[in-house]
Structure 1
Amino acid sequence: MTTETGESFALLTGASQGLGKHMALELAKRQFNTILVALPNEDIQSIAKQCRALGVKAYYYETDLTKKENLLALTHWLNENFNISILINNAGLGGTESFHETNVDYVDRIIQLNIRATAMITHQLLPNMMQQKQAYILNVSSMASFCPMAYKAVYSASKRFIQHFSRSLHQELKHSHVFVSVVHPGPMKTNNDVTQRIKRQGILGKIGLLSPEEVARRSIHQLLKKKSFILLGWSNRLSWLFMRFVPTWIKFPMLNRAFRRESKFQIE
C-alpha cells in the first residue's frame, strides 16, 4: 500500500460489533476516513464497506490485540502508511463471574486487551498524531470504573486504569495538538446475551441504559467538542454521584446483589 499522503484517518479498535461498529459508522457519517481493527473472522470487511458507502475511505486490519507482537505489527503498519488524526481505543473484554471460578486465560485476556493494548497503541501512535494539525484520542472506559465491583473485579479495575491513564495523558498533552478524552458508557443492549444479563441486574442495570448507536453519536460529538471527561445522559450522571458519594456500606451490598444475579445467569 502506498502512503496516504495529505489525508488523515481515524483508527478504531474493536470495530466489528456493538459500540465499535456504530462508532465506525458515526465517524464515516461525519466524513472521517477510517481504519477498522477487529479479531479475524468477525466480518469487519462488511463494516468497512458500509463506511465506504457513506463516501469515505475505509480500511480494515484483522488481528488479536492481546499479543504484543500483533500490537507492534499493527502500529508499525499504521505509522508507515497513514496520518492518524483520531484514535479510539474501544476494544475491550468484560463479563460477570466469580473471580476464583474464572479461567486464568480469561483473566489474562482482560488485562492484555483492556490495559496493555490501550496503553501500547496510544504510545506507538502518539508521535504520528503529534505531527497532525489537530488530533484526538478517545479511550472507552466504563461506569464500572467509578467503584470496585464484586464479580467484575478485574474488569472494573481495568476500566479504572483506562480512566486514570486518560486523565493523566490529557494533562500531559494539554498544550499540544493532541486532545485526550475518556468516555464512561453505562449498560448497552449490544446483543441478546448482554440484554439478558442487564435484565438480571434489576433496576441498577436499567439505570443509564442507552443504545450503542446513541452512545457512539454522543461520544464522538463530545470528543470533537473537546470534552475531556464524558458521561452520557442524566441517569449516568446520577449513577456517578451515587458511586462517588454514597457510603461504601450502602452501595457495595446493592452492587454485589445485582452482579451476583448476573453471574448466576451466566453460569446457568
Structure 2
Amino acid sequence: MKNKTNSSYAVITGASQGLGKAFAFELARLGRNVVLVSLPGQSLQSVVAAIKEAYNVEVAYFETDFACNDNIMELCEWLNSNFSIDILINNAGVGGTTRFTDVDVNYIETIIQVNVKATAILTHQLLSNLKRQPCSYILNVSSIAAFTPVGYKTVYPASKVFVHYFARGLRAELKDSNISVSVIHPGAMATNPEIVSRIEKQGFIGKLTLLKPEKVAQFAISRLLKKDSVIVLSHLTWVVSKLMPEWLTLYLMTGIVKREINNQLV
C-alpha cells in the first residue's frame, strides 16, 4: 500500500510498453507515485488507468517526442513545476537492425537524439529537483550491446556505451550527494510478439537470452534502491564479454544479427 506521507514521484520515460511499463508497475507496487512519459499515440492513458486500478498511488503522464530538444525542455519545465522527484529512470531508447549502408540520416540522428541527448538533457534539467529530496536515484537503461560493437546495429551499441559511461561518471561526481546513480544492462526482452519472433530468429543464443520485462524491472528496482552501481542480469554474459577478445565477440555477435536479417528476407 502507498505511504500516505510520500509526496515524491518517480519519473519513467518510455513507459507505455515493455520495460518502461514494467518499471512503472513495479514502482507503484512498492507504493511510489509515478509520472509516465512516452511518445504520443501509444495508449499511455490505458497504462495510467491500469496502475490506478491496481495500486493506491498517484499517477501522472506526459506524451512527447524526444526527437525534438524543445519537447524535452518543455517536459522538464512541467516536471520541475509540478512534482518533487526522487527517482528518474532514463528508459526511453530506440535502435534497429539493418545494414548501415541502407539507413538514412534520420535513422542515425534519431538514435543519437533519443538515446544520448535526451538522456543527458533530462538528467541535467532534473538534477536540482532530485537534490532537494532526502534520497534520490537515477537509473540509466543501457544494454548488453554496450559491451561489444555489433555489425548491422552499429550506432545503437555506440549510443548505449554513452549511457553506461554517462551514468558511471555522474555517479562519481555525485558520490557525496543525496543522489545515487545506477546503470542497467538488460538483454533482449519479450515485450511483444514481433520482438520475440525477431529474437528467436537469431537462433539458440537469442532464445536463451530472452528476458521477461517484469522480472527485469523487479530485479533492477531492488538493486537501484540498494544503490548498486552497475546492474547486470546475466553475470555470465558480462564475464564472457570481458574475458573474450573484442574481435571474437564482434565476429560472433555480428554473425548472429546477420542471421536475423537474412531470416527476415526469407
- Scaled to the shorter chain, the TM-score interval is over 0.9
TM-score (norm 2): 0.95
Counterpart amino acid of 2:9? F
Residue aligning to 2:80: 79
- Separation in structure 2 between the aligned mates of residue 108 and residue 166 of structure 1, nearest angstrom: 22
Residue aligning to 1:208: 209
- Separation in structure 2 between the aligned mates of residue 184 and residue 240 of structure 1, nearest angstrom: 9
SS at match of 1:66: coil
> How far did 1:105 drift?
1.1
> Relative to 1, partners in 2 of residues 1:47 and 1:127: Cα closer, same or farther, differing over 3 Å?
same
Residue aligning to 2:176: 175
Residue aligning to 1:231: 232
TM-score (norm 1): 0.94
Q: Do residues 44 (structure 1) and 44 (structure 2) align?
A: yes
- Separation in structure 1 between the aligned mates of residue 161 and residue 219 of structure 2, nearest angstrom: 21
- Separation in structure 2 between the aligned mates of residue 249 and residue 7 of structure 1, nearest angstrom: 50
SS at match of 1:215: helix
> Relative to 1, partners in 2 of residues 1:249 and 1:109: Cα closer, same or farther, differing over 3 Å?
closer
Q: Do residues 251 (structure 1) and 245 (structure 2) align?
A: no
Q: Do residues 7 (structure 1) and 41 (structure 2) align?
A: no
SS at match of 1:138: strand
> How far did 1:79 drift?
0.6
Residue aligning to 1:262: 260
SS at match of 1:255: helix
Counterpart amino acid of 1:116? K
- Separation in structure 1 between the aligned mates of residue 214 and residue 6 of structure 2, nearest angstrom: 30
> Relative to 1, partners in 2 of residues 1:12 and 1:127: Cα closer, same or farther, differing over 3 Å?
same
Gaps of 5+ in 1: none
Contact 2:148–2:246 (CA under 8 A) maintained in structure 1? no
> How far did 1:267 drift?
4.8
Contact 1:27–1:34 (CA under 8 A) maintained in structure 2? yes
> How far did 1:203 drift?
2.5
What CA deviation, in whole Å up to 9, does each residue of 1:33-92 have, x standing for no partner?
010001111110111112222100001101001110000000001111110100000000
- Separation in structure 1 between the aligned mates of residue 142 and residue 157 of structure 2, nearest angstrom: 9
> How far did 1:238 drift?
1.2
Q: Do residues 221 (structure 1) and 222 (structure 2) align?
A: yes
Contact 1:187–1:206 (CA under 8 A) maintained in structure 2? no
Residue aligning to 1:24: 24
> How many matched pairs?
261
Q: Do residues 240 (structure 1) and 238 (structure 2) align?
A: yes
> How far did 1:106 drift?
1.6
> How far did 1:265 drift?
3.8
Gaps of 5+ in 2: none
> Relative to 1, partners in 2 of residues 1:249 and 1:179: Cα closer, same or farther, differing over 3 Å?
closer
Contact 1:146–1:243 (CA under 8 A) maintained in structure 2? yes
Contact 2:12–2:91 (CA under 8 A) maintained in structure 1? yes
> How far did 1:110 drift?
0.7
SS at match of 1:69: helix
SS at match of 2:209: coil
Contact 2:171–2:182 (CA under 8 A) maintained in structure 1? yes
The correspondence of residues 162-201 of structure 1 with structure 2, limited to 5 A, is 162-201=163-202
> How far did 1:180 drift?
0.3
> How far did 1:192 drift?
1.3
> How far did 1:251 drift?
2.3
> Relative to 1, partners in 2 of residues 1:118 and 1:201: Cα closer, same or farther, differing over 3 Å?
same
- Separation in structure 1 between the aligned mates of residue 107 and residue 263 of structure 2, nearest angstrom: 18
- Separation in structure 2 between the aligned mates of residue 50 and residue 222 of structure 1, nearest angstrom: 25
> How far did 1:264 drift?
2.8
> How far did 1:6 drift?
7.2
Counterpart amino acid of 2:21? K
> How far did 1:206 drift?
2.8
